[in-house]
Structure 1
Amino acid sequence: MSTAHSLDPSGAGVHTQAAALRESAAACPVALPGGVDGMIVSRHKELRDFLADPKVAKNARHFAAYQEGRVPEQWQLNAFALVSGMITADGDDHRRLRGLAGKAFTPRRVASLRPWIEKLTGDLLAALPGHADADGVVDLRRHFAYPLPMGVICELLGVGSGYRDRLHTLTHRMVSTSSGGGDAMAAQREIHAILGRVVQERRADPGDDLTSALIAARDDALHDGAERLSDEELTGTLLLMIVAGHETTLNLITNAVRALCRHPEQRELALSGEVSWDAVVEETLRWDSPVANFPFRYPTTDLVVDGVTVPRGIPVLAGYAAAGRDPREYGPDADRFDITRPPSRHLAFGHGAHYCLGAPLARLEAVTALRDLYAAYPGLRLAAPDEELPPLPGFIGASVAALPVRLAPPTA
């Protein structure tokens, strides 16, 4: 195996590193935290095929180094490898868990959230000027891009408002590869404890929410003699939905606004209605995926990816940031943000059996957020040079940690 690439835990230079990995080979060795050997698949076609390959698993029983005791006990990435739920299930287990969640996460339920999403968006936009500092600058990530998806997913799950800020802090700590292993594991334990309380609350007082529906689906399966959803699987599924349901959409909204600020000619196309907000969202997903490198998949046999051997049992990252700008798929201008680009089948929501269950909700939230944000504040501009925006720490999520903006031009 060739020399392993080191992934930058600071989050700086995500796309520079992604391009280097992609152009080095379709699959490259990487050095994961804690001295764990891994690989990454970074080219679009090869990644799409890898994600759908039946010889690639998600469950850590196929993770050779973990099974052999060569992974640190307090490992930063244990939350991704060991959480119990859809994200780490294969075959019949995955179909069972996804089927139970799918009964509750229906198109009808998502569509029913539209008026509530629009109201929450309007309330947050109306409050934005009140969050501005003395210079008229407001952090759009903190005061808009975060509370919108966090409010939506917690409403969907039936999670009380008192838990939301703590859950956000903990999920960020858990998924940030710049955190120490002990901190990441402690955050995961506390999230499980909070979600356990949510389950108890919803069991005692069911509502029209996803947690109540999952509990009911589990009880129906048990009554019918089917294999039920265990308490660990239930909290693991909720954890996945909390993380995926707000962290990724938070990054998506942030990245879209940042891209439009960096490309004013593209912003004007959207503001004029010449190009739809849906197209803005899809191009952002391709060009600046909210997730740069997603853990983990494990080949169940040695695989060859474009001439490179990916050994059985090695943890493999899905290189979404690199694949999204692959010139082999998107042409010589793949690095250019272009909302007029013909629709493409990007991989930002994954591919195959583990395609993101919440993709329709994320799209609904992002389109609503951008449409209503620019209707309210068409003069919105960055309040700091783009190159000075602090990167989001870690090599999993891809965004900036703050997005300072002025809601109107300085002369307004």
Structure 2
Amino acid sequence: MTEVISEELPITRQKPFDPPAEVTEIREKARISRLRFTDGHLGWLVTGHHQVREVLGSPKFSNDPRKHHLLDKRFQGDVPDDPEARKPQPGLFLSQDPPDHTRLRKMLQGQFTVRRMNQLSEWIGTIVDDQLKHVRSLNGKADLVTEFALPVPSLVICALLGVDYDERHRFQEDTATLLRLGSSFEEVRAALERIQGFMRELITRKKANPGDDMISDLLATGEPTDEEASNMAMLLLLAGHETTANMLGLGTFTLLRHPDQLKILKDEPESIDNAVEELMRYLSIVHFGPVRTAVEDVEIDGHLIKAGDTVLLHLPAANRDPDKFAGDPDELDLRRPASGHVAFGHGIHQCLGQQLARIEMRIGFSKLFQEFPDLRLDVAPEEVPLRADMGIYGVHSLPVAWSA
């Protein structure tokens, strides 16, 4: 078959809620195509839903960054050529393969069961209520990101991990540096070291004075080393507030721009579960990625991916694949059966905290529009600053207004 080859990854979004139009065009030509990486490697771009799931679910692909070819200097900068400089640190299980990944993730799985997360619903509802009372006190105008979307998941994950919310300045700014596409390798390394320093201090405090929190429970098992526990806690802290915060912000922007769909949510509150799944599918806030590298030859959808080939999986494109989702997947439809999306990934690296994120979004969106039924944008839609410069997509701010 004739191969579709992209000399670089399209990253510019023409519309605020859609993947880049060029990526959609590539998907319609070939669900698997070739992509030139920044080091000259001719790897693969996977944009089809079924094909993305097949790669993510296959043990023939590695997530070890030492095996990956460098994707793109536009947002990776000058990464050292030495693969050992990209060696995953102890405890960073997101970048590790079995058996290390299996051992580390198993230590945390009991903390994130559906049952345990559901038991937190009332408590999360109280956090949301309190934050909405704060928003109500702001006299009719606010930046919803600063006052609601970011605080809610930050308060939740800080409380679950036993992190003092007043210390959030010690990780939120550096988290932004880690996610900013234009950050240099040196800037990322320095930000990571600062966060790790904070987490090491936290581990030391928890060992001396355990509390009723996930980190204390993890340390009580005696299984992880201090370095592993520190990095595992860091992953949970960063992933636990950035992703949900951006879904709450971008999701609200989306609903305000789709009043017909917002009306469904208001008129049919029982639709919230599926509404969250559809928003996850439609928005897919992972800007692009993840990346995997084949550790042995594997054939997928008629394409031979050879050992050593690096593959970029494009989740936003896969979640708009008409081969999977009925109707027009480029349209938001809160009544669409949206299960099976890959917004949380798939396979052994599927998001550990996805049930927590779902509960936060269900409660957050429901209570927000109950409390502020006339919520509206306070700027023109094109003036909302988009996070096109970040690895996790969303809005930098969302100026809104309501009848005070």
Structures share a fold, TM > 0.5? yes
Counterpart amino acid of 1:113?
L
Counterpart amino acid of 2:189?
M
Cα drift, residue 335 of structure 1: 0.2
Aligned to 2:59: 54
Kept in 1, the 8 Å contact 2:132–2:368? The answer is: yes
Aligned to 2:111: 104
Counterpart amino acid of 1:329?
K
1: CA distance, partners of 2:189 / 2:67: 21
Q: Deviations over 1:331-366 (max 9, x none)?
A: 350100000112431111111122211111000101
Kept in 2, the 8 Å contact 1:279–1:339? The answer is: yes
More displaced, 99-108 or 365-374? Answer: 99-108
Root mean square deviation, CA, Å: 3.0
Question: Does the alignment pair 1:26 with 2:26?
Answer: no
Kept in 2, the 8 Å contact 1:176–1:395? The answer is: yes
Kept in 1, the 8 Å contact 2:39–2:69? The answer is: no
Which runs of structure 2 are paired with 1:101-180 in the superposition (5 Å)? 101-107=108-114, 109-131=116-138, 136-180=140-184
Counterpart amino acid of 1:82?
P
2: CA distance, partners of 1:59 / 1:373: 40
Structure 1 residues 32, 364: closer, same or farther in 2, change over 3 A? Answer: farther
Counterpart amino acid of 2:345?
G
Q: Deviations over 1:136-163 (max 9, x none)?
A: 4311112100000011111111111232
Question: Does the alignment pair 1:95 with 2:107?
Answer: no
Cα drift, residue 303 of structure 1: 3.4
Structure 1 residues 35, 157: closer, same or farther in 2, change over 3 A? Answer: farther
Question: Does the alignment pair 1:294 with 2:295?
Answer: no
Counterpart amino acid of 1:205?
N
2: CA distance, partners of 1:324 / 1:238: 29
Aligned to 1:5: 8
Question: Which of 63, 68, 74 in structure 2 is aligned with 1:63?
Answer: 68
Counterpart amino acid of 1:301?
E
Q: Deviations over 1:179-231 (max 9, x none)?
A: 222211211111111111111111111111111111112x1xxxxxxxx4233
Structure 1 residues 377, 51: closer, same or farther in 2, change over 3 A? Answer: same
Counterpart amino acid of 2:9?
S
Structure 1 or 2: more helix by fraction:
1
Question: Does the alignment pair 1:397 with 2:392?
Answer: yes
2: CA distance, partners of 1:108 / 1:293: 31
Aligned to 2:189: 185
More displaced, 332-341 or 309-318? Answer: 309-318
Counterpart amino acid of 1:26?
R
1: CA distance, partners of 2:143 / 2:243: 18
More displaced, 54-63 or 150-159? Answer: 54-63
Cα drift, residue 299 of structure 1: 1.0
Kept in 1, the 8 Å contact 2:48–2:321? The answer is: yes
Aligned to 1:224: none
Cα drift, residue 307 of structure 1: 3.9
Kept in 1, the 8 Å contact 2:10–2:20? The answer is: no
Counterpart amino acid of 2:24?
A
Specify the SS of the correspondent of 2:183: coil
1: CA distance, partners of 2:378 / 2:47: 33
Which runs of structure 2 are paired with 1:158-307 in the superposition (5 Å)? 158-217=162-221, 219=222, 228-273=223-268, 276-307=271-302
Specify the SS of the correspondent of 2:19: helix
Q: Deviations over 1:234-281 (max 9, x none)?
A: 222122212221111011111221121111111111111265211221
Specify the SS of the correspondent of 1:213: helix
Aligned to 1:15: 19
More displaced, 335-344 or 386-395? Answer: 386-395
Specify the SS of the correspondent of 1:317: strand
1: CA distance, partners of 2:8 / 2:309: 15
Kept in 2, the 8 Å contact 1:324–1:346? The answer is: yes
Specify the SS of the correspondent of 2:393: coil
Q: Deviations over 1:361-412 (max 9, x none)?
A: 000101110111111001111122323321114363121211111124xxx7
Counterpart amino acid of 1:267?
L
Structure 1: state its 5+ residue gaps. 220-227
Cα drift, residue 26 of structure 1: 2.1
TM-score, structure 2 as length reference: 0.87
2: CA distance, partners of 1:192 / 1:37: 35
TM-score, structure 1 as length reference: 0.86
2: CA distance, partners of 1:365 / 1:199: 26
Specify the SS of the correspondent of 1:298: strand
Structure 1 residues 140, 31: closer, same or farther in 2, change over 3 A? Answer: farther
Structure 1 residues 79, 181: closer, same or farther in 2, change over 3 A? Answer: same
